[in-house]
Amino acid sequence: MNHIIGIGDYAITSHAEDTLETYALASCVGVTVYSPAKKVAGMMHIALPNDFGIKEDILRPGYYATVGIPLLIKEMQYKYGCFKNELDIQIFGGALSIRENDFFNIGAKNLEMIKKIFLYTGVNYKLTDVGGYMSRTIKMDAATGAIKIYTQPIKI
């Protein structure tokens, strides 16, 4: 089964025949998690760094990094029996804005917050394909954890 992860969504699977896929990561960030020992794969599509008390996370728990990442790691641990130190975590996206003087700078803020969360939780990660001026689509093979990255330049 092919799981399509929309903005603010996430999926975890232990079915080897599954794939996880998310589209158009520009300032948004895709986080992939894979346990080689348990053959469990997870993916989340994060839109913003912090929820600031907004309850959008009830409907889309992966929308905010501060809510989504701890949820993803806890579910990998407690529902699927994975250990934090065995997880292969990769980060994609967080593109820069092509607009001059972008006040919000969401891509960089997303990456900064995600790094802080992983530092705080003591989980290792890799910045696999981040920043720049590219939109990324990622597809993950649940059997192996292999990830294919498709890029295209961001245009207005």
Q: What is the pLDDT at residue 64? A: 94
Q: Rounded CA gap, 21 and 6, in Å?
A: 9
In this prediction, residue 113 has a pLDDT band, given cuts at 50, 70 and 90, of very high
Neighbours of 50 (CB within 10 A): 13
Q: What is the mean pLDDT of residues 108-123?
A: 94
Per-residue pLDDT averaged across 63-92, rounded?
A: 96
Average pLDDT over residues 1-12: 96
- The full set of domains in the chain, from first to last, is 2-153 (3.30.1330.200)
Q: What is the pLDDT of residues 38-62, one digit of tens each?
A: 999 999 999 999 877 666 556 788 9
Q: Of 11, 12, 28, 46, which is the active-site residue?
A: 28
Q: What pLDDT score was predicted for residue 61? A: 86
What percent of the chain is modeled with pLDDT above 90? 82
**Catalytic annotation on 28?**
yes
Amino acid at 86: E
pTM for the predicted model, two decimal places = 0.93
Calculated CA dihedral for residues 91, 115, 60, 139, nearest 10 degrees: 0
pLDDT, averaged across the chain: 92
